[in-house]
Protein backbone atom coordinates (compact mmCIF):
# COMPACT_ATOMS: atom_id res chain seq x y z
CA UNK A 1 0.00 0.00 0.00
CA UNK A 2 1.47 3.36 -0.96
CA UNK A 3 2.25 6.07 1.55
CA UNK A 4 -0.48 8.21 0.06
CA UNK A 5 -3.22 5.70 0.78
CA UNK A 6 -5.70 6.88 3.38
CA UNK A 7 -5.91 3.33 4.66
CA UNK A 8 -2.29 3.08 5.74
CA UNK A 9 -1.09 6.64 5.59
CA UNK A 10 0.41 7.72 8.90
CA UNK A 11 -1.51 10.97 8.58
CA UNK A 12 -4.80 9.09 9.01
CA UNK A 13 -4.29 9.10 12.73
CA UNK A 14 -7.66 9.23 14.46
CA UNK A 15 -10.21 6.75 13.16
CA UNK A 16 -13.99 6.81 13.50
CA UNK A 17 -15.44 3.57 14.84
CA UNK A 18 -16.94 2.30 11.59
CA UNK A 19 -13.86 3.18 9.55
CA UNK A 20 -11.53 1.58 12.07
CA UNK A 21 -13.46 -1.68 12.32
CA UNK A 22 -13.96 -1.94 8.57
CA UNK A 23 -10.36 -1.25 7.61
CA UNK A 24 -8.38 -2.93 10.34
CA UNK A 25 -10.51 -5.93 11.23
CA UNK A 26 -12.33 -6.52 14.45
CA UNK A 27 -11.13 -9.93 15.55
CA UNK A 28 -7.88 -11.10 17.17
CA UNK A 29 -5.56 -12.71 14.66
CA UNK A 30 -6.50 -10.33 11.82
CA UNK A 31 -3.68 -8.69 9.91
CA UNK A 32 -3.08 -4.97 9.79
CA UNK A 33 -1.88 -3.01 6.75
CA UNK A 34 1.71 -4.14 7.33
CA UNK A 35 0.50 -7.79 7.36
CA UNK A 36 1.27 -7.92 11.09
CA UNK A 37 -1.00 -10.06 13.25
CA UNK A 38 -3.19 -8.04 15.60
CA UNK A 39 -3.18 -10.01 18.84
CA UNK A 40 -6.20 -8.17 20.26
CA UNK A 41 -9.29 -6.77 18.51
CA UNK A 42 -9.23 -3.13 17.47
CA UNK A 43 -11.38 -0.62 19.31
CA UNK A 44 -12.63 2.78 18.17
CA UNK A 45 -10.07 5.46 18.93
CA UNK A 46 -6.66 6.68 17.94
CA UNK A 47 -4.03 4.77 16.03
CA UNK A 48 -0.78 5.35 14.17
CA UNK A 49 0.75 3.31 11.35
CA UNK A 50 3.96 4.41 9.68
CA UNK A 51 3.33 2.01 6.80
CA UNK A 52 5.35 3.04 3.75
CA UNK A 53 5.45 6.72 4.75
CA UNK A 54 8.73 8.57 5.18
CA UNK A 55 9.46 8.86 8.92
CA UNK A 56 11.38 12.08 8.31
CA UNK A 57 8.27 13.92 7.14
CA UNK A 58 5.32 12.01 8.61
CA UNK A 59 2.87 13.85 10.84
CA UNK A 60 2.51 12.72 14.45
CA UNK A 61 5.90 10.97 14.32
CA UNK A 62 9.21 12.39 15.48
CA UNK A 63 12.79 11.17 15.59
CA UNK A 64 14.46 12.74 18.60
CA UNK A 65 17.28 15.22 17.93
CA UNK A 66 15.99 15.58 14.36
CA UNK A 67 18.10 12.60 13.32
CA UNK A 68 17.54 11.72 9.67
CA UNK A 69 16.31 8.20 8.89
CA UNK A 70 17.90 6.62 5.80
CA UNK A 71 16.01 4.09 3.71
CA UNK A 72 17.58 0.65 3.29
CA UNK A 73 16.79 -2.77 1.92
CA UNK A 74 17.96 -6.34 2.31
CA UNK A 75 16.41 -8.58 -0.30
CA UNK A 76 12.67 -8.11 -0.01
CA UNK A 77 12.87 -6.45 3.42
CA UNK A 78 12.53 -2.66 3.43
CA UNK A 79 13.56 -0.63 6.46
CA UNK A 80 14.87 2.65 7.83
CA UNK A 81 18.14 3.22 9.69
CA UNK A 82 19.02 5.84 12.30
CA UNK A 83 22.28 6.34 14.22
CA UNK A 84 22.37 6.71 17.97
CA UNK A 85 23.55 10.01 19.39
CA UNK A 86 25.83 10.63 22.40
CA UNK A 87 23.82 11.22 25.52
CA UNK A 88 24.38 12.28 29.13
CA UNK A 89 21.89 10.45 31.32
CA UNK A 90 19.99 12.63 33.77
CA UNK A 91 20.42 9.84 36.29
CA UNK A 92 24.19 9.94 35.80
CA UNK A 93 26.75 8.70 33.29
CA UNK A 94 26.92 8.91 29.52
CA UNK A 95 26.18 6.66 26.58
CA UNK A 96 24.34 6.36 23.27
CA UNK A 97 20.61 6.48 22.57
CA UNK A 98 17.89 7.04 19.96
CA UNK A 99 14.14 7.57 20.33
CA UNK A 100 11.14 7.34 18.00
CA UNK A 101 8.04 9.19 19.23
CA UNK A 102 4.43 8.54 18.15
CA UNK A 103 1.61 10.99 18.93
CA UNK A 104 -1.40 8.93 17.89
CA UNK A 105 -4.04 11.35 19.18
CA UNK A 106 -2.33 14.35 17.56
CA UNK A 107 -1.59 17.57 19.35
CA UNK A 108 1.70 19.30 19.99
CA UNK A 109 1.36 20.13 23.67
CA UNK A 110 0.71 17.77 26.57
CA UNK A 111 -2.00 19.06 28.90
CA UNK A 112 -1.77 16.91 32.05
CA UNK A 113 0.59 14.75 34.11
CA UNK A 114 0.18 11.54 36.11
CA UNK A 115 -0.76 13.73 39.07
CA UNK A 116 -3.34 15.92 37.30
CA UNK A 117 -4.80 13.55 34.66
CA UNK A 118 -8.40 12.36 34.63
CA UNK A 119 -7.83 9.42 32.28
CA UNK A 120 -5.59 11.08 29.67
CA UNK A 121 -2.56 13.37 29.26
CA UNK A 122 -3.59 15.30 26.14
CA UNK A 123 -7.17 14.45 25.14
CA UNK A 124 -9.77 11.69 25.58
CA UNK A 125 -8.50 10.31 22.26
CA UNK A 126 -5.14 9.31 23.80
CA UNK A 127 -4.41 5.59 23.38
CA UNK A 128 -5.20 3.78 26.62
CA UNK A 129 -5.76 0.05 26.15
CA UNK A 130 -3.23 -0.54 23.41
CA UNK A 131 -1.05 -2.72 21.24
CA UNK A 132 2.29 -1.12 20.30
CA UNK A 133 4.33 -2.87 17.60
CA UNK A 134 7.92 -2.37 16.42
CA UNK A 135 10.19 -4.47 14.18
CA UNK A 136 13.79 -3.56 14.99
CA UNK A 137 17.41 -4.59 14.51
CA UNK A 138 20.27 -3.25 16.64
CA UNK A 139 23.77 -2.85 15.26
CA UNK A 140 26.99 -2.85 17.31
CA UNK A 141 26.34 -3.10 21.01
CA UNK A 142 28.60 -0.41 22.45
CA UNK A 143 27.71 -0.75 26.13
CA UNK A 144 26.24 -4.12 27.17
CA UNK A 145 25.41 -2.84 30.65
CA UNK A 146 23.08 -0.16 29.20
CA UNK A 147 22.05 -1.81 25.93
CA UNK A 148 18.29 -2.13 25.61
CA UNK A 149 15.30 -1.85 23.32
CA UNK A 150 12.48 -0.18 25.24
CA UNK A 151 8.77 0.22 24.49
CA UNK A 152 7.41 3.18 26.48
CA UNK A 153 3.68 3.93 26.67
CA UNK A 154 1.06 6.06 28.47
CA UNK A 155 3.65 8.84 28.67
CA UNK A 156 4.48 12.41 27.91
CA UNK A 157 7.39 14.79 27.51
CA UNK A 158 10.68 14.28 29.34
CA UNK A 159 12.06 17.58 30.53
CA UNK A 160 14.12 18.91 33.42
CA UNK A 161 11.67 21.78 33.88
CA UNK A 162 8.70 19.57 34.81
CA UNK A 163 9.60 15.99 35.67
CA UNK A 164 5.96 15.00 36.24
CA UNK A 165 5.24 15.22 32.51
CA UNK A 166 7.04 11.88 31.92
CA UNK A 167 4.13 9.84 33.35
CA UNK A 168 5.17 6.62 31.55
CA UNK A 169 5.68 2.89 31.92
CA UNK A 170 7.76 0.52 29.80
CA UNK A 171 8.91 -3.00 29.00
CA UNK A 172 12.48 -3.73 27.95
CA UNK A 173 14.65 -6.25 26.11
CA UNK A 174 18.36 -6.60 26.97
CA UNK A 175 21.37 -8.65 25.81
CA UNK A 176 22.12 -11.96 27.48
CA UNK A 177 24.72 -11.96 30.23
CA UNK A 178 23.80 -8.75 32.07
CA UNK A 179 21.70 -10.43 34.77
CA UNK A 180 18.27 -9.92 33.18
CA UNK A 181 16.78 -9.83 29.69
CA UNK A 182 13.44 -8.14 30.34
CA UNK A 183 12.17 -5.61 32.87
CA UNK A 184 9.09 -3.57 33.68
CA UNK A 185 9.82 0.09 34.27
CA UNK A 186 7.91 3.05 35.66
CA UNK A 187 9.04 6.66 35.24
CA UNK A 188 6.27 8.90 36.45
CA UNK A 189 8.72 11.66 37.35
CA UNK A 190 11.71 12.24 35.07
CA UNK A 191 14.41 11.01 35.52
CA UNK A 192 13.42 8.72 38.43
CA UNK A 193 12.94 5.11 37.28
CA UNK A 194 11.67 2.03 39.06
CA UNK A 195 12.71 -1.24 37.41
CA UNK A 196 11.50 -4.74 38.21
CA UNK A 197 13.18 -7.77 36.67
CA UNK A 198 10.74 -10.12 34.96
CA UNK A 199 10.96 -13.83 34.28
CA UNK A 200 11.14 -14.59 30.54
CA UNK A 201 8.80 -17.28 29.21
CA UNK A 202 11.36 -18.56 26.67
CA UNK A 203 14.96 -18.05 25.61
CA UNK A 204 15.47 -14.75 23.80
CA UNK A 205 17.59 -11.60 24.13
CA UNK A 206 18.67 -8.45 22.34
CA UNK A 207 21.15 -9.74 19.76
CA UNK A 208 23.52 -7.68 17.66
CA UNK A 209 22.48 -7.72 14.00
CA UNK A 210 19.30 -9.76 14.47
CA UNK A 211 15.76 -8.61 13.70
CA UNK A 212 13.17 -8.89 16.45
CA UNK A 213 9.47 -8.14 16.41
CA UNK A 214 8.22 -6.56 19.64
CA UNK A 215 4.72 -5.84 20.89
CA UNK A 216 3.78 -4.17 24.15
CA UNK A 217 0.17 -4.83 25.03
CA UNK A 218 -1.36 -2.95 27.97
CA UNK A 219 -4.96 -3.08 29.14
CA UNK A 220 -7.16 -2.61 32.19
CA UNK A 221 -8.48 -5.79 33.80
CA UNK A 222 -12.22 -6.28 33.36
CA UNK A 223 -14.06 -5.61 36.60
CA UNK A 224 -10.87 -4.44 38.33
CA UNK A 225 -10.28 -0.69 38.20
CA UNK A 226 -7.11 -1.18 40.25
CA UNK A 227 -5.16 -3.39 37.81
CA UNK A 228 -3.49 -3.10 34.41
CA UNK A 229 -1.85 -6.01 32.58
CA UNK A 230 1.37 -5.19 30.68
CA UNK A 231 2.74 -7.82 28.31
CA UNK A 232 5.76 -8.05 26.03
CA UNK A 233 5.37 -10.34 23.00
CA UNK A 234 8.33 -11.23 20.76
CA UNK A 235 8.83 -12.71 17.34
CA UNK A 236 12.49 -13.76 17.28
CA UNK A 237 12.54 -14.42 13.52
CA UNK A 238 10.01 -11.88 12.30
CA UNK A 239 10.56 -11.71 8.52
CA UNK A 240 10.15 -14.15 5.67
CA UNK A 241 13.26 -13.18 3.67
CA UNK A 242 11.72 -14.33 0.38
CA UNK A 243 8.74 -11.98 0.63
CA UNK A 244 9.77 -9.40 3.23
CA UNK A 245 6.47 -10.07 5.00
CA UNK A 246 6.07 -10.74 8.73
CA UNK A 247 6.07 -14.39 9.83
CA UNK A 248 3.81 -13.57 12.83
CA UNK A 249 5.34 -16.06 15.22
CA UNK A 250 4.37 -14.02 18.27
CA UNK A 251 4.91 -15.49 21.73
CA UNK A 252 4.34 -14.00 25.17
CA UNK A 253 7.79 -13.23 26.58
CA UNK A 254 7.15 -11.39 29.84
CA UNK A 255 4.31 -9.87 31.84
CA UNK A 256 3.77 -7.46 34.72
CA UNK A 257 0.43 -6.69 36.38
CA UNK A 258 0.46 -3.13 37.71
CA UNK A 259 -1.73 -2.70 40.81
CA UNK A 260 -2.91 0.47 42.54
CA UNK A 261 -1.01 1.02 45.82
CA UNK A 262 1.46 -1.78 45.00
CA UNK A 263 4.92 -0.24 45.26
CA UNK A 264 7.50 -0.65 42.53
CA UNK A 265 10.06 1.26 44.59
CA UNK A 266 9.45 4.99 44.28
CA UNK A 267 5.89 4.70 43.00
CA UNK A 268 2.66 3.05 44.07
CA UNK A 269 0.39 4.79 41.56
CA UNK A 270 -1.34 2.60 38.96
CA UNK A 271 -0.58 3.74 35.39
CA UNK A 272 -3.90 3.35 33.56
CA UNK A 273 -4.34 6.65 31.70
CA UNK A 274 -4.18 7.37 27.99
CA UNK A 275 -0.77 8.63 26.92
CA UNK A 276 0.07 11.56 24.68
CA UNK A 277 3.42 10.08 23.65
CA UNK A 278 4.38 6.51 22.73
CA UNK A 279 8.12 5.89 22.39
CA UNK A 280 10.52 3.29 21.07
CA UNK A 281 13.93 3.86 22.64
CA UNK A 282 17.38 2.34 22.21
CA UNK A 283 20.35 2.52 24.54
CA UNK A 284 23.93 1.35 24.24
CA UNK A 285 23.94 0.53 20.50
CA UNK A 286 25.55 2.22 17.49
CA UNK A 287 22.56 2.36 15.15
CA UNK A 288 19.07 0.96 14.61
CA UNK A 289 17.10 -0.48 11.72
CA UNK A 290 13.32 -0.27 12.04
CA UNK A 291 10.82 -1.56 9.52
CA UNK A 292 7.35 -1.53 11.04
CA UNK A 293 5.96 0.67 13.80
CA UNK A 294 2.37 1.19 14.91
CA UNK A 295 0.10 1.66 17.91
CA UNK A 296 -3.68 1.30 18.18
CA UNK A 297 -6.51 1.15 20.69
CA UNK A 298 -7.66 -2.40 21.52
CA UNK A 299 -10.59 -4.14 23.15
CA UNK A 300 -9.37 -5.64 26.45
CA UNK A 301 -10.07 -9.35 26.98
DSSP, residue by residue, 6-74: TTT-TT--EE-HHHHHHHH-SSTT-B-TTS-B-SS-EEEEEEEE-TTS-TTT-TTEEEGGGPPPEEEEE
Which domains does the chain possess? 60-291 (2.60.120.200)
Model pLDDT, residue 11 = 37
The string of pLDDT tens digits covering residues 202-249 is: 999 999 999 999 999 999 999 999 999 999 999 999 999 999 999 999
Say if CB 182 and CB 198 are below 8 A apart: yes
Model pLDDT, residue 195 = 98
Does residue 6 come out as left (phi exceeding 0), alpha (psi in the -120 to 50 range) or beta?
alpha
pTM of the model as a whole: 0.92
Stretches where the chain sits below pLDDT 70 are 1-27
Model pLDDT, residue 21 = 36
The string of pLDDT tens digits covering residues 149-164 is: 999 999 999 999 999 9
Model pLDDT, residue 27 = 67
Measured CA to CA, the distance from residue 129 to residue 106 in angstroms comes to 17
Model pLDDT, residue 29 = 81
Amino acid sequence: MSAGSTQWSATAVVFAAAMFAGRCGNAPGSLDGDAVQMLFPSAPGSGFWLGSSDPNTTSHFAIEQGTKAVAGSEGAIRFWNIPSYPFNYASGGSGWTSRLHLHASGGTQQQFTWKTQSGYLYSPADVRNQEFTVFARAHRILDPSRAALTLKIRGGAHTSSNGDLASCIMLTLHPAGVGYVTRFGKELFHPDYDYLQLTPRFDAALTDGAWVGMKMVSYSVAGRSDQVVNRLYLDSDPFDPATGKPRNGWRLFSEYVDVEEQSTGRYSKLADWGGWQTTFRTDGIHDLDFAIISVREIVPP
